[in-house]
Amino acid sequence: MGAWLLFLILIALGFAAIRALWPAPPSWSSADPLRLAAAPAIGFGLGGCFYFALRIVLQQPPAVAIAAVCLAAAGLSWFAWRRAQSAVADVPAVSGQIPFWLWLLFGVGAAMAFFTYLMLSGAAPHGEWDAWSIWNLRARFLVRAQEFVSPFSPVISWSHPDYPLLVPGVIALLWHAGGVESPSMAGAVGFGFLFSTVAVPFFTLRLLRGPALAALGALTILGATSLVRVSASQYADVPLAAYIVIAACFLVYALEVEPVGNSVVFIAGLSAGFAAWTKNEGLLFCVSIVLAHLLSIGGKTELPRRFATLISLVAGIVAVLAFVGHFKFRLAPANDLVNAGTAGVAMARATDFNRYWVTFWAFVGELLTFGSVLVPPVIVFAVWLALVRFRSKVTGAALLPLVAVVIQLAGYFAIYVTTPQDLDWQLNTSLPRLLLHVWPLSVAGIFLISGALFGGRPQPEPARPRSK
C-alpha cells in the first residue's frame, strides 16, 4: 500500500513541479493535459534525484528520502497554487474537426496497447534480460546494500555499473516505501513512462495542430509494436524515449506559443537532463537538443529570442547533470566503450571505410523493418507528406524535433563506427532499441510540419507573457 501511495505522490510531484514552473489559473486549463501527460516521467525523475542525493550521497535512511519526496510534493503544490492566483490562462488548443471513426480507431489502439502491456507484464513480471542484469538488479543492490560500493564495482562489469541511476533509483525508492521488492512496482513505473511517451506528443499536437493530427500521431507511435514490448520488458529505452520527446515537445511549445516566458524551456532542459540520468545515450541527447535549438532558427529576427531561451534550456540540463557528474566521477567505473579502447585504436576504426559501409546498411535495414509493421515507416511518412503536404508556413521551431533526431542518429552512427566491441554484435543487439529512443520524437516532428486535416485551422501565436 505504501509503495502505491508513493507512486501516486511521485506523479503529483511531477504535476506540481510543472505547474509551479509553468503556472496556469486554478481551474482546469487548456494545457493541463500536456502537464499531466509529462507528470509521471518528471515525477519519477525528481524522485530518482532525491533518492540519489539523500540515500546514496548523504547515506540517509530510506525514510528520509521518502519524507523528502512527500514534502517536496506538498511544497510545490502550495507554490503552484500561489502562482495560479495571478497566472494568465493558457492559449486555447487549435480547433478542428475529427471524424468519429478516427476517435474510435484511436481508442481501440490505446486499449490494445494497454492490455498488451498488462499481458506481457503478467507473462514476465520481472521483465527481460536487461531488467534482470542491469536495472532491477541495481535497484536490488540499492535496497539491500549496507554500503554503496558493490553496485558499482568493476568486478561485475557485465552489469554495466557505469549506467545512470534514475530508473533503479525510483524503483528502489518505491520498494523501500512498500517494504518488499515487488515486480509490480517496476512494471507500474514502466507503464508510467510509456504513458508519457505517447501522451506528451499527443497533447502537444492537440494543442498546436488540432485533434486529428494528434490522434494520428499517437496511433503511429503505438504502431511500432516494439515500443510496448520493450516497455513491458522494463528496459530503460522507453524511459529515455519519454524524456527525449518531453524535452523537444515542451521546447517546441515554448517557441511556438510562449514568446516571453522561459519556464517551459527550463522544463525541457530538465527533461533532457533526466535523459542523461537515465542512460548514457541521454548525454548525447543533451548535445543534440542544444544544437537543434541553435540550428533550427527560422531567421535573423529569431536570433535574440533563441539565445535568450538557450540560457533556460542549458540551466535545466545542468541542474540534473550535477547528479550525473557526481555519479560518473565519484562512484561509477569507466564506461566499457571508453575503457576498452585507446585514442589510437579509435582513430584506426574511424578511418576504416568498411565500418562505415557495414553501419550504413545496418541503419538502412533497420529503418526499413523498424517496429515490425507491415509497411516501412520511412515509406509511410514519405507517402503521407506527399499526400497531405507540408504546412503553409513551416517554422524553425516545428523543424527542431527532426533536426534533433538527425543529430542524435548521427551521433549513434559515429559511436558504432568507433566502438571497441564487435561491430556486428553491437549493431544486432542494440540498434533496434536505439532507433526506438527517437521514434516518438520522429513521429511528433513529422506531424508538426504536416498540413491540417478535416478543416483544421492554424494556431494563433500570442504575443503576451504567460503570467502577470
Given this model, what pLDDT does residue 373 score?
Answer: 65
Given this model, what pLDDT does residue 154 score?
Answer: 67
How far, in Å, CA of 244 to CA of 49, rounded?
Answer: 18
Residues 6+ away with beta carbon under 8 Å from 290: 310, 313, 314, 317
Q: What is the chain's mean pLDDT, rounded? A: 88
Give the torsion sign (CA, 407, 442, 318, 58).
Answer: negative
Residue 463: pLDDT band (50, 70, 90) is very low
Given this model, what pLDDT does residue 151 score?
Answer: 65
Given this model, what pLDDT does residue 379 score?
Answer: 75
Residue 334: pLDDT band (50, 70, 90) is confident
Q: What is the pLDDT of residues 384-421, one digit of tens each?
A: 777 777 777 777 888 999 999 999 999 999 999 988 88
Q: What is the mean pLDDT of residues 291-318?
A: 88
Given this model, what pLDDT does residue 381 score?
Answer: 80
- Residue 234 DSSP SS3: coil
Q: What is the mean pLDDT of residues 341-349?
A: 70
Spell out the domain ranges in the chain.
2-92+99-448
Local structure of residue 459 (DSSP, 8 states): P
- The set of cell numbers assigned to 373 is 509493421
Phi-psi map region of 180: left, alpha, beta (phi>0 left; psi -120 to 50 alpha): beta
**Between 466 and 101, the higher pLDDT residue:** 101
Given this model, what pLDDT does residue 213 score?
Answer: 92
Determine the Cα angle at 359 with ends 354 and 360, to 5°.
95
Given this model, what pLDDT does residue 393 score?
Answer: 78
Q: How many CA atoms lie within 13 A of 407 on its CB side?
A: 22
Is residue 45 within 8 A of residue 269, CB to CB? The reply is no
The percentage of the chain sitting over the pLDDT mark of 70, rounded to a whole number, equals 90
Residues 407/412/416/417 CA torsion (nearest 10 deg): 10
Q: What is the mean pLDDT of residues 451-461?
A: 57
pTM here is: 0.93
Q: What is the pLDDT of residues 435-448, one digit of tens each?
A: 999 999 999 999 99
Q: Quote the crossing angle between the two packed helices 303-330 and 281-295, to the nearest 10°.
A: 170
Q: What is the pLDDT of residues 134-193, one digit of tens each?
A: 889 889 989 987 666 666 666 676 677 889 999 999 999 999 999 999 999 999 999 999
Given this model, what pLDDT does residue 158 score?
Answer: 65
pLDDT at 459 over 60: no
How far, in Å, CA of 416 to CA of 421, rounded?
Answer: 9
Determine the Cα angle at 440 with ends 439 and 446, to 5°.
90
Is residue 244 within 8 A of residue 438, CB to CB? The reply is yes
Residue 374: pLDDT band (50, 70, 90) is low
